[in-house]
Amino acid sequence: MKKTKVIPAAIAVASITLLVSCSSGREYSNYPSHSSTSYSLILNSGPGIYASRYPDGRYYYRSPQGYMYWRGHDNRYYLDRSYLGKVYYNKGQYNDWNRYYNRYGRRYR
């Protein structure tokens, strides 16, 4: 009688242990893990964007996350090159951002 109660209990404990140990407990992603939110490389000026003036006369905006955006000739704000490796973005955003920096960005460096 005791064998019949012990065997099903041992099988149940073993199957629960096996199921729990098979899951890794971590979620893996192909994206960078710095915050899983993407930041725009280009911001349009509008309400809520308060620009400051740099000593050399250029205007900039510092986002609440601490990223610095420089005002371009089209009154849009472009993420500073030094933050490019710290944010997640898509290829289209990068191409638009890079078009600006290739045309105007080297003038100030």
Is the pLDDT at 70 greater than 60? The verdict is yes
**Is pLDDT larger for residue 13 or for residue 51?**
51
Count other Cβ atoms within 10 Å, centred on residue 69.
24
Q: What is the pTM of this model?
A: 0.57
Count other Cβ atoms within 10 Å, centred on residue 66.
8
Q: What is the mean pLDDT of the chain?
A: 74
Residue 32's contacts (CB-CB under 8 Å, 6 or more residues apart) are 88
Q: Report whether 65 contacts 39 (CB < 8 A).
A: yes
User: What local confidence, expressed as pLDDT, does residue 22 receive?
Assistant: 58
Is the pLDDT at 72 greater than 70? The verdict is yes
pLDDT band at 26 (very low <50, low <70, confident <90, very high): very low
